[in-house]
Structure 1
Amino acid sequence: MTTGDDDQDVEGVEIIGGEPRFMAALAEDDSDERSLTDLVEQPAKVMRIGTMIKQLLEEVRAAPLDEASRNRLRDIHATSIRELEDGLAPELREELDRLTLPFSEDAAPSDAELRIAQAQLVGWLEGLFHGIQTALFAQQMAARAQLEQMRQGALPPAWANRATATASTCRPCPRVRTSRRAMRGWSFPSSTPNRVP
């Protein structure tokens, strides 16, 4: 049985008789959503650059390159990383900096060096997109579980009415919609089929 001391204030709304475990779950979900949207600050830009890098890797694999082409790809690789960092949260920028090593300025990189660098970057991006996709799925499952709790009367009537009204009008934010659309073309290990040209 709850008392006045158990009343909770969530974002300026006082909930009387709220179930503490459920309120904690709501706060945790809100925190997850904020971290997800902050993870990739410019998802459309990151997806464009990622798709370009993936295509460049295919070109490097397809045929040997002359010295001018290798120098050009080295410059594109460095520029791509700088542009990617503009669209990422600080934590991801630091991780990308630690993982990517600059090419030597003295000589053009070999075909093998370019393939390794491009494959590493593509793999990192696919891991990032897979993580976002997994987080979105987890959020959807959590929302369904909360809705099911509301339907079964696990929430106080006043909170259930408020939450149901919110759920009926809630739409994914533009950033999440962009991420979902953009990720449709990427392949993830044993989760999504390869992209069809």
Structure 2
Amino acid sequence: MARAQHDQADVSSPAKVMRIGTMVKQLLEEVRGTELDEKGRERLAEIHRRSIDELEEGLSKDLIEELERLDLPFDSTDGPPTTSELRIAQAQLVGWLEGLFHGIQTAIMAQQAMAQQMGGRGQLPPGMVPPGMTPAEGQPDEKESDRDDRGTGNYL
């Protein structure tokens, strides 16, 4: 659980990471059944590199280092990468992002389970106020019907 919580804290811009992840996955699906010409391969290689650069802006140093270790550079001595190389690189990035997303979801579920467990024992996380209590006073909320009953007798 500690690692799952650590993963969640490592993503400073989750919305950005999700958008880029969705784009990369969509690109992979688009090129699966397509043979790309040289310009298309050059373009996809550039998109792949920029996607990683953008992702790194929303990740912690540890995750950036992990991503860089896994993302092997294309051999540019022979021209643009082949379609197969691009597909493999895109699939690898999609897989890494899906693993990151699963780690975040696991951390959220663990936090929710811990909050439910604490609530079941009568304990709430710091800053939480029990239902029916006001944060300032820590006293039960007065219901309108309770106020009306106190002001008059039973017969009026």
The answer for the alignment partner of 2:85 in structure 1 is: 113
2:12 corresponds to which of 41, 44, 48:
41
Which structure 2 segments of 5+ residues have no match? 131-156
The answer for the alignment partner of 1:93 in structure 2 is: 64
Please report how far the alpha carbon of residue 78 of structure 1 lies from its aligned counterpart in structure 2 after TM superposition: 0.6
2:128 corresponds to which of 121, 145, 167:
167
Is the contact made by 2:12 and 2:58 (CA closer than 8 Å) also made in structure 1? yes
The answer for the alignment partner of 1:73 in structure 2 is: 44
Counterpart of 2:121 in 1: which secondary structure?
helix
Aligned partners of 2:125 and 2:50: how far apart in 1? 47
Over residues 108-151 of structure 1, what are the superposed CA-to-partner deviations in whole Å (9 max), with x where a residue is unaligned? 1111101100000000000000010011001100110011111x
**Structure 2 matches for 1:143-154, cutoff 5 A?**
143-150=115-122
Which structure 1 segments of 5+ residues have no match? 1-27, 151-159, 170-197
Aligned partners of 1:32 and 1:53: how far apart in 2? 24
Please report how far the alpha carbon of residue 166 of structure 1 lies from its aligned counterpart in structure 2 after TM superposition: 3.0
Identity %: 55
Is the contact made by 2:7 and 2:104 (CA closer than 8 Å) also made in structure 1? yes
Q: Letter of the aligned partner of 2:85 in structure 1?
A: E
Q: Which runs of 4+ in 1 moved over 6 A?
A: none
Please report how far the alpha carbon of residue 168 of structure 1 lies from its aligned counterpart in structure 2 after TM superposition: 3.7
Tell me whether 1:54 sits opposite 2:15 in the alignment: no
Q: How many residues align?
A: 129
State the superposition RMSD in angstroms: 2.3
TM-score, L = length of structure 1: 0.60
Over residues 162-181 of structure 1, what are the superposed CA-to-partner deviations in whole Å (9 max), with x where a residue is unaligned? x4783248xxxxxxxxxxxx
Tell me whether 1:139 sits opposite 2:100 in the alignment: no
Aligned partners of 1:130 and 1:116: how far apart in 2? 21
The answer for the alignment partner of 1:126 in structure 2 is: 98
Aligned partners of 1:130 and 1:121: how far apart in 2? 14
CA 1:104 to 1:168, structure 2 compared with 1: closer, same or farther past 3 Å?
same
Structure of larger gyration radius: 2
The answer for the alignment partner of 2:53 in structure 1 is: 82
Counterpart of 1:63 in 2: which secondary structure?
coil
Counterpart of 2:128 in 1: which secondary structure?
helix
CA 1:89 to 1:164, structure 2 compared with 1: closer, same or farther past 3 Å?
closer
Please report how far the alpha carbon of residue 62 of structure 1 lies from its aligned counterpart in structure 2 after TM superposition: 2.3
